[in-house]
Amino acid sequence: DRLVGAVADSDDQAVEAALRPRDLDEFVGQERVREQLGLVLQAARKRGGTADHVLLSGAPGLGKTTLSMIIAAEMGVPIRITSGPAIQHAGDLASILSSLTEGEVLFLDEIHRMSRPAEEMLYMAMEDFRVDVIVGKGPGATAIPLELPPFTLVGATTRAGLLPPPLRDRFGFTGHMEFYAPAELERVIHRSAGLLDVVVDAAGAAEIAGRSRGTPRIANRLLRRVRDYAQVRADGTITRQTAAAALEVYEVDARGLDRLDRAVLHALLTLFGGGPVGLSTLAVAVGEERETVEEVAEPFLVREGLLARTPRGRVATGAAWAHLGLAPPHPTGG
């Protein structure tokens, strides 16, 4: 469990329900998605029908689950939440679909990780509100058609490009969720602080926002750790100073890098002169698995423009030297 990891841990799950915005107006940022989705929902309400299927793409922690709940709330219908990996067999999907009530929202997280047969069943369900349930095996097997009530599927995926085109095409609306700007994260932090009954001043919120990697889930998690610190070591108020001191304790630096991120950069700079160096060599140097470096540390370092993946290996940018306060041995690009 990393403090700056974007996937929810059990601690997050316990508090997130209380922090979720309940309607589109309360949902911070994502102006384009909010406006487009607002129109889709308003039009559906006006027609007195069910909203089109919605695909939400974006990194973990950006608010996809929250938006799906808002869709259900705005349409005044219940919501069922499940995920691609939880649906092993087409039969699992058939039983979920056949138990939906009219207009219900079905939220399918990680929809790109559904099994192939389930995916094919979903095509027909999305288009015709019908599934064929196969009874029996071999030549005697028969398909029994089952009518479904109209429902709204909200699919979530880290990248829309991961979906097979026939599935992607069956969504009436696709919303691309972006990482949040610092000012938007500050609004998330102020809002959450109010709900958690913590006092945070403007500079304190800005300090936490700058370390939150563009992700509301991380902002909320850092806020809780800073609150602990402020209550134990200060008077409970979160200022720039308490936020910075608390996050230093938790080894999250001013730009949101944690110990692992910095170890990777540090090795790249000090042991390999900024690269290029192969991934395996870099991983051995920091005592981690290749996959950990590649999947856990690198994506954020690349996003931040601190590290580049080139055909010759990993290369640090000028910004990496500056961030760790080191002088490059020779002029670097970037």
The residues binding ligand ADP (CB under 6 A) are: 16, 19-21, 27-30, 60-66, 188, 216-217, 220
Residue 292 DSSP class: I
Give CA–CA dist 59/43, Å, rounded: 28
Give the up-direction half-sphere exposure of residue 196: CA atoms within 13 A in the CB hemisphere: 28
Q: Which is nearer to ligand ADP, 19 or 306 (CB)?
A: 19
Whether 65 is catalytic is: yes
Q: Which of 50, 64, 211, 317 is catalytic?
A: 64
Q: Which is nearer to ligand ADP, 28 or 297 (CB)?
A: 28
- Decide if 264 contacts 282 (C-beta within 8 A): yes
215 carries a ligand binding annotation: no
Q: Which is nearer to ligand ADP, 198 or 285 (CB)?
A: 198
Q: Which of 12, 50, 109, 221 is catalytic?
A: 109
Give CA–CA dist 118/116, Å, rounded: 5
Q: Which of 50, 65, 239, 242 is catalytic?
A: 65
Structure tokens at 124: 């027909």
281 carries a ligand binding annotation: no
Give CA–CA dist 84/98, Å, rounded: 17
- Least Cβ distance, residue 187 to ligand ADP (angstroms): 8
Q: Which is nearer to ligand ADP, 83 or 231 (CB)?
A: 83
Question: Strands (DSSP E) along 136-190, which ranges?
Answer: 142-147, 152-157, 173-176
Whether 157 is catalytic is: no
- Least Cβ distance, residue 107 to ligand ADP (angstroms): 9
Q: Which of 168, 211, 213, 217 is catalytic?
A: 217
What residues pair up with 57 in beta bridges, in sequence order? 157, 176
- Least Cβ distance, residue 134 to ligand ADP (angstroms): 33
Pairing of strands 313-316, 130-135: unpaired
333 carries a ligand binding annotation: no
180 carries a ligand binding annotation: yes
65 carries a ligand binding annotation: yes
Q: Which of 92, 113, 158, 259 is catalytic?
A: 158
Give CA–CA dist 187/265, Å, rounded: 31
129 carries a ligand binding annotation: yes
317 carries a ligand binding annotation: no
Token look-up 């991934």 returns 279
Whether 132 is catalytic is: no
- Least Cβ distance, residue 15 to ligand ADP (angstroms): 7
Structure tokens at 196: 């958690």
Closest CA to 181 of 221, 216, 220, 214: 214
Closest CA to 197 of 6, 1, 19: 19
170 carries a ligand binding annotation: yes
- Least Cβ distance, residue 69 to ligand ADP (angstroms): 8
Whether 237 is catalytic is: no
- Least Cβ distance, residue 37 to ligand ADP (angstroms): 12
Q: Which is nearer to ligand ADP, 57 or 239 (CB)?
A: 57
Token look-up 């029908």 returns 49
Taking the CA atoms of 288, 294, 297 and 298 in sequence, report the sign of the dihedral they define: positive
Whether 2 is catalytic is: no
Q: Which is nearer to ligand ADP, 9 or 228 (CB)?
A: 9
Which residues have a catalytic role annotated?
A: 64-65, 109, 158, 217
Annotated binding residues for Mg(2+), written as ranges, equal: 65
Annotated binding residues for ATP, written as ranges, equal: 19-20, 61, 64-66, 127-129, 170, 180, 217
Annotated binding residues, written as ranges, equal: 19-20, 61, 64-66, 127-129, 170, 180, 217, 290, 309, 314
